[in-house]
Structure 1
Amino acid sequence: MASAAVWKGFYAIRITHGWFPVLFWALVALGLATLVITQSDRGRRRALARQCLVALGCGLVGGAAVWFVSNGIVLFGVELGWDVIIACAVGFLLLGFFVAAAVGTRGWRRALAIAMVPLTLVATGVRVNAIYGEYQTIGSLVDYSPYPHISTLHISLDTVSVDAWVRQVDEGRQTPAKEGRLLSVDIPNPASRFRARKGLVWLPPAALAKHPPKLPVMVMLAGQPGSPTRFFTASDTIADLTRYANEHDGLAPIVVSPDQNTAASRNSLCADTTRWGKAETYLTRDVPDWIRRNLPVSTDPADWTIGGYSQGGTCSTQLGPNHPELYGNVLAVDGEIAPTDGSVEQMVEGYFGGDRAAYERQVPVNALRAHAPSNQVMILAAGEKDTVSTANIATIGEEARKSGWTVVQIKVKDAGHDWRAVNETLAVALPWLCDRMGLDAGAASRHESGADERRREERRMDEHPGIEVQQ
């Protein structure tokens, strides 16, 4: 038991802020200062100058190379952003200095310089990760998932309406829990045979009751590489929805994060393909079927949202338009203009057996046109530093408006292709969606009409300092 507690504490160490990144950079700074100061005497100044010149050259060349990969040829499909480029340039500069010092010194100085090389690599990686916010804890590096299985909890399907729930809470016949529960789940795949990894489900306080209300559903997807665990550990979803639930009689959507890729290194395109299997069938038949059979949820598509970040965001702008009978709402952050894994020609051959039409069906603007007109809702967001994604949401948003959708387009200030863009978006989009899906019913019992609360959430979205709502 003690050993398990130690490991749990170790896995819980935060690596994006606090003492962990400070420690690594403090050690790098100490090593750099030691090598510079101890070579500042007259006999070693020339060697120190050479090391500094090598460092400067490495920083310039390394930074230029990262910029070329990021912005020049856009190798990863998105621009990495200047924060990442600068962090990498600084890392190359320091590595250049320490390698030059290892070559040009002797004794303990050489040993220190050699030791600084891997330390600098780790420190630079920690900094880049902190910019993206992808891995929040040590446990997330190994996809550690300590959450109990859903089979350990009895979930009642003896439901009441949201309005009835609110009345029962007001009358003291229902007392919602203070916190929800995050649980792991094996979602069966009878229709698709898709080899998905374990998913995660967050149940809000109201869902834990003996007679829970019929709640909205959010199916949320992490990016690629990523995992269902990553979605919850990197995003503020649970904190935002817990805050909402505490203000609304325990009411919040049930959030399901299924696996859309089978492995971190794979991109299923969220489509039925010959390469990785029937991901679309899994996400639009197996997952919804399991949710409806096992969780206290509404069956109205207007109460169902599909969303995600990066590749998960791309998936949501494919699946939402292609399946209006399932998902009335889409919430996509930093998504691509189309599913991408290589060139279009490579995807058509490698994923769709040469069927170009099957690929084109997955392109969001094509899906929107094919199912127009629609009264669905789409929230599109991108970090302002991610110019590729901001252009993508402008194109998709324009087509969605033409197709009859209600579109909210958000630019996140001082963010790039990172989880900060996700979290700033969720802070305002989740309450807005919750109200729209009818969970503001409890506001009337506190002398604020549902319409008034929706207007308040709209004002909160417009006035939120971290975002700009674009018309």
Structure 2
Amino acid sequence: MGLTSTAVLAVVAAAAVALFAATVRFWPRLARPGARAVSGRIGLLLATQLTLFAAVGLAANNAFLFYGSWADLFGQQQELGVVTDHEDGAEGSEGSRHMTRIATQHPDVPGGRVPSAGGRIDKVVISGRTSGVESPAYVYLPPEYFQAAYAGRTFPAAVVLTGYPGTAENLLKGLRYPQTAHERVKAGKARPMVLVMLRPTVAPPRDTECVDVPKGPRTETFFAKDLPEAVAGSYRVGKKARNWGIIGNSTGGYCALKIGMLHPDRYAASAGLSAYYRAAEDPTTGDLFHGRQELRDRADLMWNLENRPPSGGSFLVTTSREGEGNLRSTMKFIEKVKAPARVSSIVLDSGGHNFTTWRREIPPALEWLSARLSAD
């Protein structure tokens, strides 16, 4: 029986109820003094508590799909995802004034203390010239950025987004983007890229869903215009759409796909790991659209594919046959993408909505991004 099956939950819940009943039934007999009676009481209490916690954990996992299988739960699913391509059936000169570097750190890679061997991670604050949004971020510079052979050359760049609420530190430690990028380049499977890592929550604790909220945070403008300008004005990265990609997981995945779809003149490639396809509207988002249906439609990727198909760009979407809740909507998204846009996918056999799954998808996703971006 699978981890997410209702049968497993029913069996564990029934066991918890049975053990509770047994505790009530046999407690008078175990109330007498003596080592055997004490051991019996301890055993019944522990067994009841363990099955109760297991039932609650299984119910929570079934609701939120943290893990898709037993192997996923115990970290035994380690094989990487496989990308499948689906065929159709210059501003920035002012950018340096809108970015402040506040600290640097060494990537956790071999030779990481020497920039030309391990690269460097800058902690920065990006101030949006047009949006007025200000957000902290981490910028990973690959070793090649500091090598004489690459002096004066520009690099492709990718924006990397967490889910909601998320922290940018998760991209460094939990999801290991700099380490994975370093490994892919060393293995000859990707080209060096600059990674700009941050969370999509630019107005915490509010989840703005990367929308330009009327009279509120202009999150879409920040990611589509201000961030590329600021980074290009501070680092040796290209300024054209073919130089830029964007990737994220969960809410960050939705944001990445939406920004890429609505702004193909800024981003040539967009990857959504475990993404959804229309803006969430709940207490964490507040009123995103102020009753304006045209704004709600703009934030619906399926609506855009049907009514305003993108004029280009490449999209990567990921899901799993067991464990993810977005399988059906992802297949629908793939069907709706038409030329000149292109779509690719990673479909795992199993994997929940969690870091274990995303760590399996990030290596091929970075390879996919690298193949679609240009340094010049």
In the superposition, the TM-score normalised over structure 2's length comes to 0.71
Partner of 1:365: 302
Shift of 1:183: 0.7
Shift of 1:281: 1.1
What one-letter code is carried by the residue in structure 1 that aligns with 2:38? R
Partner of 1:150: 101
Identity value in percent: 19
CA 1:399–1:206 in 2, change beyond 3 Å: closer, same or farther? same
**Aligned mate of 1:190, from 121, 129, 136:** 129
Task: Give the alignment of 1:34-183 within 5 angstroms.
Answer: 41-44=35-38, 46-48=40-42, 50-51=44-45, 54-55=48-49, 58-59=52-53, 62-63=56-57, 65-66=59-60, 70-71=62-63, 78-81=64-67, 150=101, 177-183=116-122
Residue pair 1:338, 1:364 contacting (<8 A) in 2 also: yes
Shift of 1:393: 1.9
- 1: CA distance between counterparts of 2:221 and 2:374? 29
- 1: CA distance between counterparts of 2:36 and 2:116? 71
Deviations 1:198-245 (A, max 9, x none): 111011122234623221110110111112222222223212221343
- Match of 2:326, SS state, is helix
- Match of 1:256, SS state, is strand
Partner of 1:342: 282
Partner of 1:277: 217
Task: Give the alignment of 1:280-359 within 5 angstroms.
Answer: 280-342=220-282, 350-359=287-296
Which contiguous aligned blocks of 4+ residues in structure 1 show a shift greater than 6 angstroms?
none
CA 1:379–1:45 in 2, change beyond 3 Å: closer, same or farther? same
* 1:390 matches 2:297: no
Residue pair 2:281, 2:288 contacting (<8 A) in 1 also: no
Residue pair 1:199, 1:229 contacting (<8 A) in 2 also: no
- 2: CA distance between counterparts of 1:267 and 1:40? 58
Cα RMSD for the two superposed structures:
3.5
- 2: CA distance between counterparts of 1:60 and 1:334? 26
- 2: CA distance between counterparts of 1:268 and 1:321? 18
In the superposition, the TM-score normalised over structure 1's length comes to 0.58
**Aligned mate of 1:221, from 142, 153, 161:** 161
What one-letter code is carried by the residue in structure 2 that aligns with 1:366? W
- 2: CA distance between counterparts of 1:49 and 1:323? 61
Structure with the bigger RCO (C-alpha within 8 Å, sep 6+) is 2
What one-letter code is carried by the residue in structure 1 that aligns with 2:35? D
* 1:409 matches 2:345: yes
Partner of 1:245: 185
Deviations 1:31-65 (A, max 9, x none): xxxxxxxx993333553464256436624652564
Q: How many residues align?
A: 309
Partner of 2:90: none
Judging by fraction of residues, say which structure has more strand: 2
Shift of 1:420: 2.3
Residue pair 2:269, 2:373 contacting (<8 A) in 1 also: no
- 2: CA distance between counterparts of 1:60 and 1:421? 22
- Match of 1:424, SS state, is helix
- Match of 1:350, SS state, is coil
Q: Which runs of 5+ in 2 are unaligned?
A: 1-32, 77-99, 105-114
CA 1:262–1:437 in 2, change beyond 3 Å: closer, same or farther? closer
Q: Which moved more, 1:284-293 or 1:256-265?
A: 256-265
**Aligned mate of 1:267, from 182, 207, 227:** 207
CA 1:276–1:422 in 2, change beyond 3 Å: closer, same or farther? farther
**Aligned mate of 1:431, from 339, 342, 367:** 367
Partner of 2:18: none
- 2: CA distance between counterparts of 1:254 and 1:64? 40
Q: Which moved more, 1:292-301 or 1:214-223?
A: 292-301
CA 1:221–1:395 in 2, change beyond 3 Å: closer, same or farther? same
- 2: CA distance between counterparts of 1:332 and 1:251? 20
* 1:255 matches 2:191: no
Partner of 1:138: none
- Match of 2:248, SS state, is strand
What one-letter code is carried by the residue in structure 2 that aligns with 1:201? V
CA 1:297–1:355 in 2, change beyond 3 Å: closer, same or farther? same
- Match of 1:425, SS state, is helix
Judging by fraction of residues, say which structure has more helix: 1
Shift of 1:391: 2.3
What one-letter code is carried by the residue in structure 1 that aligns with 2:60? V
